[in-house]
Each structure stands twice: as C-alpha cells, then as structure tokens.
Amino acid sequence: MRRTALLAAAAIVSTALAGCGRPMYFGGWVSEWHPDVSLLKDNPRLFDSVSFSWCHIQADGSLKRVAPADRDELVKWAKKHGIKVYVTIGSGVPGITGKAGTRAVKELVAVCEQYGFDGVDVDIEMLGKPARDTYTLFITRLAEALKTMKTPRRLSVTLQEVQNEKDEANLCSDYAVAGRLADEVRIMCYDISWDEPGPIMSREAFARDLAFAKSRIPADKLVMAVPWYGRDWNITDKTHEDILWRMTDARDGIMGMDEIVGKFGGKPVWREPEGELSYTYTVGGKLHEVWMADPRQFEWMVDEVRKAGVRGVYIWQLEYASPEFIPVVRRKVKR
Amino acid sequence: MTFGGWIPDEVRDFSLLKRNSGALTSVSICAFTIERDGSLTDTISPVHAEFMKWANANGIIVWATIGGTRRSLPWAIQGRARERLVKELAAACAKYGLGGIDVDIEGIAGKVRDDYTLFIAKLVSALQAMTPPRQVAATVMDFPSAEDEAGGPFDYLVLGLLADEVRVMLYDYSCDAPGPIMPREYFAEELAFARSKIPKEKFVAALPWYGRDWCGGDTEDLTRLEDADPPPGVVPEWREPEGELSLSFTRDGKRHEVWLPDPRKFAWMVDEVRKAGASGIYVWHLGCASPEYFKLVRGKVRR
C-alpha cells in the first residue's frame, strides 16, 4: 500500500516535471499561396525560425522563384528580430538527380548568399522508395555545400510522418540518415485522413509518429510539425479542400472555419479519442464534414512533444491562423 | 580520449591485451571479408570468439572490421549486393554481439564516392534500427588537403555527419620507397585537415604501432626491432625532422632500410592528436602491442 502511494506520488512529480523545462524551439511555414504574415509580425518574440516556400527545383535543377515583392523586407525584418529564415524547397525526381541535382545545390547556395537565408528546408514529398538513393545523395550534397559556405547555413529536412519501420521503408527519405545529415528534421504530423473524412491528426497516430521518429532521429534535432489548418470534405461529391481559420470566400475563394460556422450555425464538436474538432454542414444539398486543428488540439500535441523531450514544434501553416493559438504558444511552448 | 586498436586475423595471443583491459575502450576484429555479391564471410576462430566474449564482459566494445579485395570491390557496395551486405552485417552484429561495424574499404577509386557514401548511409540506418542500436565507423585514407580528398572515395565532411566514428589512418606515408611511416610535418597537415572536416566527437586518429623493412623492391611490415634481425652492433637512430627511429644494414648482400615502431614516436603523435582535438586514438595494430606502449596509453591517452 505504502509502495503504491509512493509510486503514485513519483508519477505525479514526474508528470509535473515533464511539463516544466525550457522554452521549446518554435517556428512555422508560410506558403506561397496565402502569404499572410500578420500573425508572425504581431508576435516576433515567439518565433525562432520561419520557412518561406519561395523556391521550387525544376527538372533541370534550376530554381523557380516565387517570392513576393516584399521578400527582402521580410528577411530583414526577421533578422532584426533574431528569427532564422529558411527557404523551403520542393522538387520532383529529375530536379535532384545527377547534373540537375548538382545545379540545384549550387543555385540553393547562391540564393542563400544573395538573400541572406539562414538555411534551406528540403520538403520533397511523395517520391517513394525508388527515389531513395537519389534523395539521399541530394541531401548529402546539399548538407556538404551548406556546411562549407563562408558562413555555414543550416539544413532542415521535412519528412512525411510514419508510424513504423515498414511504412518508413516505402518513403524516399530515411529517418536515421536525415537525422545524421540535417541540423533539424521536421516530421509532418498531419494528413492522416485524405480520401475519407477524419482527423487531421489523432492522438493515437501522433503518439506513434513521435515514438518512431524519436527512435531514429536525435532528440535535439527532432521537430514535430503540427497542423493549424483543417480540411473540408464534400461527402456528396467526394472532394475536399484545406481550410484555414480566417480565410474568407470573398478574398481567398475558400471559406475559412470562422466563416463556415458563422454562416451555417451550430458549433463544432470536440471528438475523442481523436482529440480534434469536427463540424458538419449542408450547402446546396451537399453534405460537408470538416476536421479542424484548434488551440485545444495544439495544446495536447505540445504537451506530448514536451514530454518526449524533443527540440520543438513547427506549424503548417501560419497564414490566417486563429489568434487563439498564440496564448497556447506563450503558455506551453515558450515558457 | 578513447583508445582502441585493430586485431588482424592472424593474431591469436591476447594475453597482453587482457592484462591491459582498463586501457582499452574498443577493439576491432579483422576477420570479416566481403564478397562481390554482398555476402559476408568470417574467419572467427574459437580463440577469437573467446576473446570477443571476454571483451564484452569487460566493457570493451567489439567492432567487426570489414574489408574487401579487388575481386569483390566496388561491386559489393553497389546495387543489390549493397543491400545484401547491409543485411548480412546487421545479422553479424546480432550473431556475435558486436557493438558496431568498422568499414575499412581501401583501394577503391574516387568514381565510386557516391556508392561508398550510400553504403555508409544504409549501414547507419540498418544498425541504428537494431535493438540495441549498433554503431558505424568509417576508416579512411589520410589526406593533407581538400584537393587531395576531392578526388578520392571518402568525403570527410559527409562521413563526419553520417558515421559514429571516422578513423583517419595517419600512416603509410612511405610505401614504394624507404622512408618514415609518418613524419611530423605531414602528420600535422593531415591532422589539421581531418579536424577541419570531421567533428571532434567523431574524429579518431589512427596511429601506427608497426614498422617497415625495405629491401630491394620488397617490403615487410615489422612488429618490433627484432623482426628486422639486424647484424650485431647495428643500432637504430632517432631521426629528425621525421620524429622516427630507423636503421639500415646489409645482410646477405642486400641492403635493408628499416623504419621502426617506437613508443617515443607514439608519444609525440598522441600529444599532437590531443592538441588538435580528437575523441580518440586507434592503432594499427594491437598485435604489435608492448608493455611500453600500454604505459603510454595509460599515461597519455586515457588520463
């Protein structure tokens, strides 16, 4: 009996300690589609880094640049606030293979020099297992090139979430190898539901993702990328689109969550065991089901990340996010 | 610093090593050969097996060093053979209770740099997924500069990121013609270059405990002075600026020039390695061990 009580007390202390500790690393992506940086600019002290999707590697290895007109001003502003700026790149297989890959590496070094980026974030998705050697050699060359710059730059690698070794074997990326080569590895903990309505990321899947990633990637490099977006499934038409909290039909051509709930009434429902908000509505005779990341979900995710003792969290995506996420960042991530 | 050394296949007497167990962090057993198809063969004898068991019981990490031959390389680290080799190495780790695999693949050309890098990457991934995870060491040739390294198969910087240890072989300066095993000046250049590319915590300086006897066009590696069998009265002479012991003599009408293994040389090398910053020292090879060497290891390396 006494032993049980002691163990229970130890568990309470352990849980309390797990919640303490230093501020975690925090940052987020800004996509090329909705370049809204208001949340970033209103809260510069909370951010360690920001990643802009401003480049895409083309088939010949050249970079297609899609930066907004205020790119230089944004980079300057971020640096002034001590926020590291990454350029996030995507590519298909041809752009990272052979001579094209060599060209891409050279051009990435050049844009880092030219625009003062602090690092490159490689977010190459959906290539699959056949591209594994090509992908590995590409990030190897990029790591080497960035490390040997006059002012060495950082390499971030953004990887698809997997929950076990078998699933990982089907990816183009190898978690352990990325964990060695990169300075930071971001695991995209979202998108578990795609064709059928369901959570963006459930508690169970998140726990598995975190445990597997931690088994392969050093904790001080591991960053869990979590959602601040949602998905609206049109069940009748079997289509779906991603939504953000403060999007508007008038400005963006897509209704955001605030607008949807305001227009169709009722309240989103908190769902367990998923640990996520969902909402259904009908428009034009078509049934919609929405699953949406919200501050409550973000909070339990951050708690899990802190308990795991890994480096921090990254947000997809910062644009048109609900300002209600910010108190959670202050209270749970940066305290 | 950590300390360890390679044990060539032919070494069977481990008594000195056992008496100096406290000085050893790890040993690497050179009893594994890779074949062209990626299969692995070993010549682990009962004596080796007993020594490996003893080492594990005494907290000394046992690595398997793998090499290849002209018959097997580079094919064994390419394509399907590479996949097979990685699997067989993981299986060997489990079978023999190995702490890691030391990849000592020499004699490959610069054009297989990507194959070598991919092989190390895949091996790292496979061994890290084991329970418990195993380590990967890359044993690489020495280079004094980036230009020399660029043409070779070993990318120091990338290996420094991928592998758990990078062992740079700082010896064999003289091969075809008689000369020092590793003179001071060249040693300093190579040490500085290796440190500029490999993180301190992964950099292991591999030093010579052997010597070499050049006679005509032939060479023979030596463990100690007696192996050279010099005529009476011929004594070795300390040579500067090389910082090495040597002697020469004529026997049976043949001129011998010998550069010797020597604790004094090992001592200055250890001092330089410590100054340069390295996580450890490895020696080729532990079959050349002597009480004098171990005294230096305890006093200078493991202090």
A43 to each of A14, A38, A202, how far by Cα in Å?
A: 32, 9, 28
A120 in the same domain as A212: yes
Rounded to the nearest 10 degrees, how much is the dihedral formed by the CA atoms of A8, A12, A14, A17? -170
335 residues of chain A, pLDDT tens digit each = 343 444 444 444 444 444 457 899 999 999 988 778 999 999 999 999 999 999 999 999 999 998 888 899 999 999 999 999 999 999 999 999 999 999 999 999 999 999 999 999 999 998 889 999 999 999 999 999 999 999 999 999 999 999 999 999 999 999 999 999 999 999 999 999 999 999 999 999 999 999 999 999 999 999 999 999 999 999 999 999 999 999 999 999 999 999 999 999 999 999 999 999 999 999 999 999 999 999 999 999 999 999 999 999 999 999 999 999 999 999 999 98
A315 in the same domain as A206: yes
Nearest chain A residue to B127 by CA distance is A176
Residue B158 and residue A143: Cβ atoms within 8 Å? yes
A154 at B interface, C-beta within 8 A: no
The alpha carbon of residue B182 is apart from the nearest alpha carbon of chain A, in Å, by 29
**Number of helices (H), then strands (E), in chain B:** 10, 14
A148 at B interface, C-beta within 8 A: yes
Percentages helix, strand, coil for chain B (3-state, rounded to 5) are: 40, 25, 35
Q: How much is the ipTM here?
A: 0.91
Please report whether residue A191 resides in a domain: yes
Residue B121 and residue A147: Cβ atoms within 8 Å? no
Q: CA-to-CA distance for A98 and A150, rounded, in angstroms?
A: 25
| Closest by CA position to A182, among listed A162, A154, A159 | A154
Chain centroid to Cα B165, Å, comes to 12
Burial of A7 (0-12, 13-18, 19+ CB in 10 A): exposed
Q: Which CATH number goes with the domain that contains B202?
A: 3.20.20.80
Looking at the partner chain, which of B114, B117, B121 has a beta carbon nearest the beta carbon of A174? Answer: B121
The alpha carbon of residue A140 is apart from the nearest alpha carbon of chain B, in Å, by 7
Looking at the partner chain, which of B125, B155, B158 has a beta carbon nearest the beta carbon of A174? Answer: B125
Please report whether residue B155 resides in a domain: yes
CB B301 within 8 A of CB B22: no
| Digit-coded pLDDT (tens) for A224-281 | 999 999 999 999 999 999 999 999 999 999 999 999 999 999 999 999 999 999 999 9
Predicted local confidence at residue A9, as pLDDT: 47
Residue B294 reports pLDDT greater than 90: yes
Predicted local confidence at residue B68, as pLDDT: 85
Please report whether residue B218 resides in a domain: no
Chain B residues with beta carbon closer than 8 angstroms to that of A144: 155, 157-158
| Closest by CA position to B26, among listed B54, B46, B6 | B6
A167 at B interface, C-beta within 8 A: no
Q: CA-to-CA distance for B18 and B286, rounded, in angstroms?
A: 12
Q: B68: Cβ–Cβ under 8 A, 6 or more apart, which residues?
A: B33, B34, B76, B77, B105
Predicted local confidence at residue B44, as pLDDT: 92
Please report whether residue A66 resides in a domain: yes
Token pair 């040490």 in the structure block, residue: B191
A243 in the same domain as A218: no
Plot region of B122 (φ>0 → left; ψ -120 to 50 → alpha; else → beta): alpha
Residue B136 reports pLDDT greater than 60: yes
Please report whether residue B255 resides in a domain: no
Residue B245 reports pLDDT greater than 90: yes
Q: Which CATH number goes with the domain that contains A321?
A: 3.20.20.80
Residue A279 domain boundaries:
239-287
Please report whether residue A309 resides in a domain: yes
Predicted local confidence at residue A304, as pLDDT: 98
Predicted local confidence at residue A6, as pLDDT: 42
CB A24 within 8 A of CB A311: yes
| Digit-coded pLDDT (tens) for B181-205 | 999 999 999 999 999 999 999 999 9
| Digit-coded pLDDT (tens) for B2-17 | 999 999 999 999 999 9
Best residue in A99, A171, A180 to probe B by mutation, most B CBs within 10 Å?
A180
Predicted local confidence at residue A119, as pLDDT: 98
A165 in the same domain as A42: yes
**Paired tokens of B193:** 């270059």
Nearest chain B residue to A178 by CA distance is B162
A140 at B interface, C-beta within 8 A: yes
Please report whether residue A2 resides in a domain: no
CB A235 within 8 A of CB A290: no
Q: CA-to-CA distance for A73 and A58, rounded, in angstroms?
A: 26
B114 at A interface, C-beta within 8 A: yes
Predicted local confidence at residue B89, as pLDDT: 98
CA torsion sign for B185, B186, B189, B194 is negative
Predicted local confidence at residue A111, as pLDDT: 96
A305 in the same domain as A276: no
- Fill in the DSSP letter of residue B72: T
Please report whether residue B27 resides in a domain: yes
Nearest chain A residue to B163 by CA distance is A180
Tally of domains within chain A: 2
Could you give the angle at which helices A71-80 and A98-115 cross, rounded to 10 degrees? 60
Please report whether residue A233 resides in a domain: no
| Closest by CA position to A232, among listed A203, A273, A263, A207 | A263
| Closest by CA position to B139, among listed B107, B115, B174 | B107
Residue A147 and residue B157: Cβ atoms within 8 Å? yes
A214 at B interface, C-beta within 8 A: no
Look at residues A266, A287, A308 and tell me which one is the last residue of a structural domain: A287
A324 in the same domain as A266: no
Please report whether residue B26 resides in a domain: yes
Residue B30 domain boundaries:
2-210+262-301
| Closest by CA position to A292, among listed A304, A281, A305 | A281
A101 in the same domain as A55: yes
A16 to each of A11, A12, A219, A306, how far by Cα in Å?
A: 8, 6, 20, 11
Q: What is the mean pLDDT of residues B210-238?
A: 93
CB A72 within 8 A of CB A105: no
Please report whether residue A109 resides in a domain: yes
Please report whether residue A256 resides in a domain: yes
Predicted local confidence at residue B69, as pLDDT: 86
Please report whether residue B246 resides in a domain: no
A35 in the same domain as A171: yes
A with B: how many residue pairs have Cβ under 8 Å apart? 41
Predicted local confidence at residue A16, as pLDDT: 44
Please report whether residue A3 resides in a domain: no
Predicted local confidence at residue A20, as pLDDT: 56
A201 in the same domain as A218: yes
| Digit-coded pLDDT (tens) for A62-77 | 999 988 888 999 999 9
Please report whether residue B252 resides in a domain: no
Mean pLDDT of chain B: 96
Tally of domains within chain B: 1
A304 in the same domain as A271: no
User: What is the enclosing helix (H) or strand (E) of A170?
Assistant: none
Predicted local confidence at residue A68, as pLDDT: 85
B129 at A interface, C-beta within 8 A: yes
Q: What is the mean pLDDT of residues B151-173?
A: 97
Nearest chain A residue to B121 by CA distance is A177
A214 in the same domain as A251: no
Residue B165 reports pLDDT greater than 90: yes
Q: How confident is the model at residue B209 (pLDDT cuts 50, 70, 90)?
A: very high
A247 to each of A131, A156, A284, A298, B55, how far by Cα in Å?
A: 36, 29, 20, 19, 65
Predicted local confidence at residue A34, as pLDDT: 75
| B100-103 and B135-140 beta bridge pairing | parallel
Looking at the partner chain, which of A136, A148, A180 has a beta carbon nearest the beta carbon of B118? Answer: A136
| Closest by CA position to B265, among listed B242, B299, B288 | B242
A193 in the same domain as A66: yes
- Fill in the DSSP letter of residue B274: H
Residue B174 reports pLDDT greater than 60: yes
Q: What is the mean pLDDT of residues B68-86?
A: 95
Best residue in B112, B114, B134, B158 to probe A by mutation, most A CBs within 10 Å?
B158
Please report whether residue B221 resides in a domain: no
Chain A residues with beta carbon closer than 8 angstroms to that of B162: 140, 177, 180-181
